[in-house]
Copies of this chain bind each other. A is one copy, B any other.
Amino acid sequence: MQTARTTPSRSAKRAHYDAETIHPILDEALFCTVSYVLEGQPMAIPTAFARKGDKLYIHGSVGSHFIRTIEQGGTACISVMLADGLVLAKSAFHHSVNYRSVVIFAQAEKVMDEAERMEALALITDHLIPGRWDDLRPTTDSEMRRTTVLAFSLAEASAKVRMGGPNDDPEDEDLPTWAGVIPLQTVRLAPVSAENSMETPLPDYLSGDL
């Protein structure tokens, strides 16, 4: 089974500030962690999101304590991490993780324009399930009134990327311990129908998950 091989990392943990690196990481990650400061203490909440251009959108209930704290200002730190693989070296010390991460520092802007709010909700839905939005009944005015949409600029975003194999010490190279990478992947399993959809065929945009 060991036909592939991996070569030592040449770009360990180097920071990147270009959209060509940052945007695909944000587009692939399903969830982000929003960290913020409340009365001097750090808080963190995982949530769904979507990116359009150089903006990142999140949404939540108008009544959510988290959303109400964030929308009142203060910088938020939004982080995403894609874990691509476990890096096994000959020594414990050089074990590592292949990952692509993004960190964004930004103040929330509460989106007030109704068209932008609706578009952000469509983007967040389709980010998790591409094609879903157009298959849904229109969102009602009441639902929109109960939803807050926040936007964050990507102006202060940076990415870190680690890829490749272990960087072993020269004196460890000949140790008999196996070294290499165990790739990690997030997969979607076969959809499970709700009771109200047992007779409903799966839409095309989901059948690729089977």
Do A182 and B188 have beta carbons less than 8 Å apart? yes
- Interchain CA distance A186-B184 in the complex, whole Å: 7
Is A51 an interface residue, CB under 8 A from the partner?
A: no
Q: Counting chain B CB atoms within 10 Å of each CB, which of A79, A146, A179, A194 scores highest?
A: A194
Distance in angstroms between the alpha carbons of A182 and B176 in the assembled complex: 42
Shortest CB distance A42–B (Å): 4
A40 within 8 Å of B (CB atoms): yes
- In angstroms, Cα B125 to Cα A196, docked, is 45
With a cutoff of 8 Å between Cβ atoms, the chain B residues found around residue A168 in the complex are 194, 196
Alpha-carbon separation in the docked complex, A2 to B86 (Å): 34
Residues A192 and B93 in contact in the complex (CB < 8 Å), given A44-B77, A177-B136, A186-B186: no
By beta carbon, the residue of chain B nearest A139 is B92
Q: Are A200 and B176 in contact (CB under 8 A)?
A: yes
Closest 5 CB pairs of A and B: A35-B35, A183-B189, A42-B77, A46-B81, A35-B44
Task: Write 30 A-B pairs (CB below 8 A) sorted by A numbering.
Answer: A4-B193, A5-B192, A6-B192, A7-B194, A8-B194, A8-B195, A31-B83, A33-B35, A33-B79, A37-B42, A43-B77, A44-B77, A46-B81, A91-B139, A92-B139, A95-B129, A137-B175, A173-B196, A177-B200, A179-B194, A179-B197, A179-B200, A180-B193, A180-B197, A182-B189, A182-B206, A183-B188, A183-B189, A183-B190, A185-B186
Q: A90-B196, A182-B188 are in contact. List 8 more A-B contacts (CB 8 A).
A: A31-B81, A33-B33, A42-B43, A95-B132, A135-B177, A174-B196, A184-B189, A186-B186
Chain A residues within 8 Å of B, Cβ to Cβ: 1-2, 4-8, 30-31, 33, 35-37, 40-46, 48, 75-77, 79, 81, 83, 86, 88-93, 95, 97, 99, 101, 103, 105, 121-122, 125, 128-129, 132-133, 135-137, 139-140, 143, 146-147, 165-166, 168, 172-198, 200-203, 206, 209-210
